[in-house]
Structure 1
Amino acid sequence: MKVGVLVMDEDLTAGCHVARAADAAGVHSLWTIDYYNRNSLVRAATFAAVTESAVVGTSVTPLFARSALATATAAADVQAVAGGRFALGVGSSTRRMNSDWYGFDLAHPAPRMSERIGLVRALLEHGGGPFSFEGRWESVSFAHLDHAVKTLPVPIYAAGVGEGMLDVAGRTADGFVGHPIASAAYLKTVARPRVIEAARRAARAEPPRFLTQVIASVDEDRAVARRRAAAQVGFYATVKGYDPLFPGDPRHAERDEIRRAFRAGDARAVAAAADGLVDERAVFGTVTEVAEQLRRYEPVADVVQLYSPHFGVSPDEIAANERSLIEVAACWNS
């Protein structure tokens, strides 16, 4: 298992400092997010330009926030800057994010995700001449789609929660990206078997790779580290669409309490209500304790992306945590 760091800083200049420090320390990979105030592809290109060795990837790029052509073109550009070190992680995002942020009606999310990944891959792999793609939802046509410079291959990893998305990852993508609050138990008993079986049925030439984000909070004061991790776990536990991450519906009462606290805008109450969830859905404590807790992901992940809590956490606290996460990742990969 390799360990990378997901760079959370909203300030891109600060993020570049983190990326350089992580690359110099020998961290395996650097990952970027997409949000209303962060562009994953711009950030990936920037981090690729200021680093030399680390894999640079998006975790994840919302697949319906941009056209398939815009995504493929950006991915090819980032890969050119990265010299082959770039990995494109994609996800559908939630229905509300698609409708409220992107103006996109996400009906039939799993089959649409599968078709869009196929189209992005076809655009990336097209060498020259006419191009035509006619799917159930997508229709793209060019009299000429020529590339003067050969596009380097771009691996595509698909994030998913429900069974349909797990099937998409196994059938269509090069691998799977687990959600920040996906427990090691969920990955072992639900995600991995489903993705592997989907890949087998699709007769994929290469076995899927397994990546997962893991909420990671470092502080010498273990109680502080735990509270920050719990707040982030709670933040994600409010989303109904992530209920499949709790198979059998365990901790239903806690999740209801978390949602009440979140609606009230009380971050500390969110953390308190989520305290019973944090042990299996995050890693926290000192650098040594976090590194030791990561061992539970070894049987289920090829790459772990350390995800710094940001809900109710100041930019300075995020930056300090990222410095510690670089230490965790560098020691793990050495």
Structure 2
Amino acid sequence: MNSARESLEAGYARARQDAARSLETKAGAVGAIATEGAGRDIGSTLLTMDSRLASLRRHSHDYADDLFRWHTVLQWLGWLALALIALKSFLYVLALELFHSDERMTLGFDDAQPIEGSYRTGAQLAIDRHFPHPLITRKQLSNADNHLVLAPWPGSSPLVRIIRRRYFFFARGSLLEDGGRVATVADTARGMVASAGGGQSIVEWTLREGEQVIFRYKDFFGASDNVSLRSELSLRLSTLLFGRVIFHSARCDSGEGRLLLKASVEAVDQAQLRAIPLERMIAWSRHAQFTVHSGRTPWKTLVNGFTLVRRDRGDGQHGLILVSSEDTGANTGSLRYLKRIFSSIF
């Protein structure tokens, strides 16, 4: 019995040892495989990280190069703008001294034809019902058949008009006739109606054929479809004192036209109007000519301002001037030109 028991115990011990060795062998194999796989994964991860870091480094260098390149471009543009401002300021002061010292020198456009129409103002204006051309306006007119116009006068100063919100979405209005109804005396006097609101006035400038009117797009309300809008660049000393280098004008080349403005307007008698500060000029006839008057001395160029004096042309066509009712600031002379540097183009 003892020998049999010992044999069983010896067999059981051998079986346990064999099982332990087998498990140890398998575990070692699995560990080797896992170690080899982990090594491959770590190597792949390191390679991926290296490539990504290299890509980030390359993109960072490219971004820095672009940034420095744009900085250089902006720096040159800044120097160019500064040079233009310095040149324009010098020419402005030079023109002011020259035109102030000699009243025979005139401001204006020598090539303008002396054609002069008329204008009227009011918080609400009725357009002559017999005027044959449609009106293109920022707001819809009363007594009119209105149609949306996406971008009228598309080639006329698009950048300036977009900035001033005077480029897109106008209304094209034609007189809405009362069909089938007998016209009365009141009907014959009724036309399309333009309203201002907000304490401002509508200006209806009647343009004769060939007449030109200089205006600001900030005041532009509309025009008849036979009116063309133009812009011209002028660097002459005779126009620099107007405070701008780009002038916007309306011209009618076929029959009679209408230019509509919306602004705070002062009712003045054109026959009595002789001198006016530049800041109060809303619009004027392109053929109007002016001289400069100011109580200035060589040491007060930056203190005393100047006044434009309308010059008698001799043909009776002195030109019309639309005057703003808004108050101007103190008399700060050429210091006010700092504001005009940034606003003269628009």
**Fold match (TM-score > 0.5):** no
Greater helix fraction, Structure 1 or Structure 2:
1
The normalised TM-score by structure 1 is 0.23
The normalised TM-score by structure 2 is 0.23
Greater strand fraction, Structure 1 or Structure 2:
2
Q: Which entry has the higher C-alpha Rg, 1 or 2? A: 2
